[in-house]
């Protein structure tokens, strides 16, 4: 996903005038995490950067306290993000947005039938699964954590991720999960790349993808913005404290 914010802005200007509400993408990534937000932001930027012509404008929507359901309901029927506003439509849910984009742009899914089928399954698996990873390894771009001993469920999630990454890289040749080109599969696992780094999770040879992903200009820009985030959210900070011992905190906002 991204790169230079100004380049991104240009993309937006010349793009398809999609407005992506990647709410809190940066803020959320700093403190804790809302994977979907991140996913969106990343996906939009990445696809745009990849030259697929998907321009979008992201908007930060802070969480309302004590609950933000009503506030988010003003732009998203589920009270959740992400939501994509396009041509008068509200497209919500990460998978719904992906399908919507794939109907309108080439490259969201790999062209190769095998890679395409694999990518679609992995996206579905990410969308509906990995609950232990989401719960136990709260998303935070700005810190490093020595995690508490893993539950059996978390260990199984990490093992499955390792298996998926290694399978994708081996079967389709990398450097992206489903082959030579970035696809929705990479977007859906982008927040996982940050989690792997934050918690030092072992994904075996899948680390090659993590390194490749984290080096992407969009990811670096995402991280840069996250580190400057000025606010912290109590609940996410509490989740972080419960996840293990914080060994480094690079947030300077």
Q: What is the DSSP letter of 200?
A: T
- Residue 64's region, left for phi above 0, alpha for psi from -120 to 50, else beta, is beta
Stretch 105-164 residues interacting with ligand GSH (CB under 6 A):
127
Q: Which helix (H) or strand (E) holds 249?
A: strand 244-249
Min dist CB 126 to ligand GSH, Å, is 9
Min dist CB 81 to ligand GSH, Å, is 4
Contact segment (CB under 6 A) with ligand GSH among 35-43, 112-120, 159-167, 195-203 equals: 35-43
Q: Please identify which residue in the block is written with the tokens 């680390």.
A: 207
The CA–CA distances, whole Å, from 77 to 95, 112, 132 equal 15, 35, 26
Q: Per rule CB under 6 A, is residue 37 in the interface with ligand GSH?
A: yes
Q: Closest Cα partner for 223 from 188, 184, 253, 185?
A: 253
Q: Of 2, 29, 30, 36, which lies in the binding site for ligand GSH, with binding defined by CB under 6 A?
A: 36
Min dist CB 91 to ligand GSH, Å, is 10
Q: Per rule CB under 6 A, is residue 80 in the interface with ligand GSH?
A: yes
Contact segment (CB under 6 A) with ligand GSH among 29-37, 51-59, 142-150, 167-175 equals: 29-37
Return the half-sphere exposure (C-beta side, CA atoms, 13 A cut-off) of residue 218.
Answer: 27
Q: Per rule CB under 6 A, is residue 19 in the interface with ligand GSH?
A: no
Min dist CB 236 to ligand GSH, Å, is 10
Q: Per rule CB under 6 A, is residue 34 in the interface with ligand GSH?
A: yes
What tokens appear for 130 in the block?
A: 């990995």
Q: Per rule CB under 6 A, is residue 206 in the interface with ligand GSH?
A: no
Separation of alpha carbons 248 and 201, rounded Å:
16
Q: Which residues contact 195 (CB under 8 A, 6 or more apart)?
A: 133, 137, 139, 201
Separation of alpha carbons 213 and 40, rounded Å:
15
Q: Whose Cβ is closer to ligand GSH: residue 34's or residue 119's?
A: 34
Min dist CB 134 to ligand GSH, Å, is 9
Min dist CB 202 to ligand GSH, Å, is 25
Q: Whose Cβ is closer to ligand GSH: residue 172's or residue 188's?
A: 188
Q: Which helix (H) or strand (E) holds 245?
A: strand 244-249
Q: Whose Cβ is closer to ligand GSH: residue 65's or residue 104's?
A: 65
Min dist CB 238 to ligand GSH, Å, is 14
User: For strand 56-58 and strand 18-21, is the pairing parallel, antiparallel, or unpaired?
Assistant: parallel
Stretch 226-245 residues interacting with ligand GSH (CB under 6 A):
none
Please give the angle made by the CA atoms of 185, 188 and 191, to the nearest 5 degrees.
135
Q: Per rule CB under 6 A, is residue 43 in the interface with ligand GSH?
A: no
Residues that bind ligand GSH (CB under 6 A): 34-37, 68-69, 80-81, 93-94, 127
């Amino acid at each position: 996903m991204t790169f230079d914010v100004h380049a991104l802005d240009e993309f937006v200007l010349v793009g398809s005038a999609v407005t992506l509400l990647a709410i809190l993408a940066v803020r959320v990534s700093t403190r804790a995490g809302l994977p979907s937000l991140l996913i969106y932001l990343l996906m939009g930027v990445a696809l745009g950067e990849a030259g697929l012509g998907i321009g979008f404008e992201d908007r930060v929507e802070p969480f309302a306290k004590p609950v933000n359901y009503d506030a988010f309901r003003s732009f998203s029927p589920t009270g959740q993000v992400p939501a994509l506003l396009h041509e008068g439509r509200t497209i919500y849910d990460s998978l719904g947005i992906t399908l919507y984009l794939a109907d309108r742009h080439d490259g969201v899914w790999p062209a190769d039938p095998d890679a395409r089928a694999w990518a679609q399954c992995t996206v579905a698996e990410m969308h509906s699964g990995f609950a232990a990873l989401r719960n136990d390894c709260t998303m935070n771009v700005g810190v490093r954590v020595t995690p508490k001993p893993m539950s059996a469920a978390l260990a199984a999630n990490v093992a499955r991720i390792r298996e998926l990454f290694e399978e994708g890289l081996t079967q389709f040749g990398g450097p992206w999960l489903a082959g030579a080109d970035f696809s929705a599969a990479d977007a859906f696992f982008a927040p996982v790349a940050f989690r792997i780094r934050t918690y030092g999770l072992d994904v075996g040879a899948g680390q090659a993808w993590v390194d490749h992903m984290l080096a992407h200009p969009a990811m670096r820009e995402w991280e840069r913005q996250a580190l400057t985030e000025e606010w912290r959210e109590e609940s996410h900070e509490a989740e972080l404290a419960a996840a293990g011992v914080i060994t480094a905190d690079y947030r300077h906002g």
